[in-house]
């Protein structure tokens, strides 16, 4: 009987893990949400490390005025801000997803994402990349309203205006490489932000993401607890 229970639990675990890999079609498919408020935005992370799924999506609820970097820090379970070049730690922040760790390096021109490491609580293997030595984290976005300038080799052209309404459906998303930094990018309802690692300093297009799993409870923990319960019940029945 116990073998049947364990087999059933393994099957359920397999289904749960495969469900996590299903590609999202919009905000309603995102499972892992942070924050509260009437507005919704999505964060997509893509490591381009050969792991599967290629990219994952988190949701963020908010009111008022929030920028792209604030959303990233709120979702990351741990954010370490240090001096450029791996110097002293200046600040450590905590966020909602304990499996996601963010390292930011502070330069005189502002903050830059150095690495993002993800250890999903339900298993699936570590996802990690760093920049400046083998590539960099390209920041891409969809929806918002801001002015920007472009460098032509000898000076700046512009200002140009980016003005796009948000869309909670992924089919309506057209990714643009950000012309501004995440700190300067104000979220709008229905906006999407993506960080895609560019190995060899060559940008990689954002792929349709799967939903990032909710940190707790995780499927492996539930399987272990159920297995221990079944074992305890078996031993109880055998006891004199």
pLDDT of residue 169: 98
Structure pTM? Answer: 0.82
Instruction: Using the predicted structure, report yes or no on whether residue 136 has a pLDDT greater than 50.
Output: yes
CB 76 within 8 A of CB 227: no
Residue whose token pair is 């920049």: 131
Instruction: Using the predicted structure, report yes or no on whether residue 3 has a pLDDT greater than 90.
Output: no
Phi/psi of residue 145, each to 5°? -145, 110
Round the average pLDDT of the chain to a whole number and report it.
86
Regarding beta strands 97-107 and 76-83, do their DSSP bridges make them parallel or antiparallel, or are they unpaired?
A: parallel
pLDDT of residue 11: 44
Instruction: Using the predicted structure, report yes or no on whether residue 212 has a pLDDT greater than 50.
Output: yes
| Separation between Cα atoms, residue 177 and residue 111, nearest integer Å | 18
Q: Who has greater pLDDT, 16 or 115?
A: 115
Indicate the pLDDT class of residue 220, thresholds 50, 70 and 90. very low
Indicate the pLDDT class of residue 140, thresholds 50, 70 and 90. very high
Alpha carbon 63 to its chain centroid, in Å, reads: 20
Sheet strands side by side (includes 110-118): 89-94, 76-83, 97-107, 110-118, 127-130
Q: Who has greater pLDDT, 199 or 237?
A: 199
| Separation between Cα atoms, residue 77 and residue 51, nearest integer Å | 21
Query: What is the torsion angle, in degrees rounded to the nearest 10, for the CA atoms of residue 122, residue 126, residue 130 and residue 134?
Result: -140
| Separation between Cα atoms, residue 239 and residue 114, nearest integer Å | 57
Indicate the pLDDT class of residue 132, thresholds 50, 70 and 90. confident
pLDDT of residue 238: 52
- Minimum mean pLDDT among 38-52, 69-83, 220-234: which range? 220-234
pLDDT of residue 240: 54
Question: What is the percent of the chain where pLDDT is above 70?
Answer: 80
CB 55 within 8 A of CB 209: yes
Instruction: Using the predicted structure, report yes or no on whether residue 217 has a pLDDT greater than 60.
Output: no
| Separation between Cα atoms, residue 53 and residue 58, nearest integer Å | 14
pLDDT of residue 121: 78
Average pLDDT, stretch 177-193?
97
| Separation between Cα atoms, residue 85 and residue 31, nearest integer Å | 36
Exposure string for 104-130, b = 16+ CB within 10 A, e = fewer: bbeeeeebbbbbbbbebbbebeebebb
């Amino acid at each position: 009987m116990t073998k049947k229970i364990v087999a059933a639990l393994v099957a359920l675990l397999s289904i749960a893990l495969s469900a996590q890999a299903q590609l999202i079609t919009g905000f309603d498919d995102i499972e892992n949400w942070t924050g509260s408020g009437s507005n919704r935005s999505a964060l997509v992370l893509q490591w381009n490390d050969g792991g599967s799924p290629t990219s994952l999506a988190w949701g963020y609820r908010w009111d008022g005025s929030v920028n792209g970097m604030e959303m990233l820090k709120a979702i990351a379970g741990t954010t370490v801000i240090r001096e450029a070049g791996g110097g002293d730690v200046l600040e450590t922040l905590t966020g909602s997803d304990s499996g996601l760790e963010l390292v930011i390096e502070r330069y005189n021109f502002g903050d830059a994402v150095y690495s993002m490491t993800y250890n999903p609580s339900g298993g699936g293997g570590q996802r990690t990349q760093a920049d400046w030595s083998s590539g960099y984290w390209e920041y891409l976005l969809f929806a918002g309203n801001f002015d920007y300038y472009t460098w032509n080799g000898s000076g700046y052209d512009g200002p140009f205006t980016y003005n796009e309404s948000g869309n909670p459906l992924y089919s309506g998303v057209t990714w643009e490489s950000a012309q501004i930094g995440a700190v300067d990018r104000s979220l709008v309802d229905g906006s999407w932000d993506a960080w895609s690692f560019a190995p060899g300093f060559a940008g990689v297009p954002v792929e349709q993401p799967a939903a990032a799993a909710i940190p707790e409870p995780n499927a492996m923990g539930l399987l272990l607890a159920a297995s221990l319960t079944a074992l305890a019940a078996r031993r109880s029945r055998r006891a004199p």
